[in-house]
Amino acid sequence: MNITDEINQVIRKVTTSGSSHQVVLERAFDTDAADLWDACTSPQRLARWFEPVRGDLTPGGRYALTDSGTEGDILRCAEPRHLAITWEYQGDVSHVDVDFIPTANERTVLRVTHHVPPNDHWEAYGPAATGVGWEEGLRALSLHLAGGAGSAPDELEDFASTPEGPRLTRLVAAAWGWADQEAGTSESDAKARALKTAAFYLDET
């Protein structure tokens, strides 16, 4: 895994609208929208790169990720272009929009927009906490789509145990710190929140 490539693969943006913050990630994948949609909605495929999922996986139904305990409602499902869900974790409720955008040469951009309410967690960690987590998921998705024989989470866990693993986490958190600054947060606060996020993910707190 090339760290520079991983950093450059993702477009990061932070905005504020109404009463929520938007953490936006975009990454292009070498597959068509139908296959990318299937990878992100099929329980069999999700278990190979993200988490096992159960529930009524139809519009109006509820899903549950069995490893993390995250659950929520499926709000909209427009195959193979748009998915909207609630994201409910440890009492916090937010919303996620996922867009599948076809581009040239049978590539597809996956855009994840996580609408995060203002709270103490946001004040402490900023967008990096959300962004770092989603980027780890997108890396696992990339490995899955590349057709590796092993489990994408297992491969990422192996990478995390190398010296490059923590370095990538710190660089991704720092990149979200820059996005935080571009959204209007002071340089000192953005850097502090990014450093705190990296320490949390690396279990250095």
The residue among 79, 76, 96 whose CA lies nearest residue 87 is 96
- Spatial contact of 54 and 47, defined as CB atoms under 8 Å apart: no
Domains of the chain, by residue range, sit at 3-202
The whole-number pLDDT of residue 111 equals 99
Share of the chain above pLDDT 70, in %: 98
Q: How confident is the model over 195-200, as a mean pLDDT?
A: 97
Please check the confidence at residue 152 and state whether its pLDDT lies above 80: no
Q: How many CA atoms lie within 13 A of 7 on its CB side?
A: 17
Q: What is the helix (H) or strand (E) element at residue 126, kind and residue range?
A: none
Q: Give the predicted TM-score (pTM) of the model.
A: 0.93
The whole-number pLDDT of residue 205 equals 72
Question: Using CA atoms, how far apart are residues 199 and 149, in angstroms rounded to an integer?
Answer: 32
Q: Which two tokens stand for residue 80?
A: 């193979």
Q: Tell me: the pLDDT tens digits for 84-121?
A: 999 999 999 999 999 999 998 889 999 999 999 999 99
Please check the confidence at residue 163 and state whether its pLDDT lies above 90: no
Q: Tell me: the pLDDT tens digits for 5-31?
A: 999 999 999 999 888 999 999 999 999
Indicate the fold that domain 3-202 takes in CATH.
Alpha-D-Glucose-1,6-Bisphosphate; Chain A, domain 4 (3.30.530)
Q: Tell me: the pLDDT tens digits for 28-67?
A: 999 999 999 999 999 999 999 999 999 999 999 999 999 9
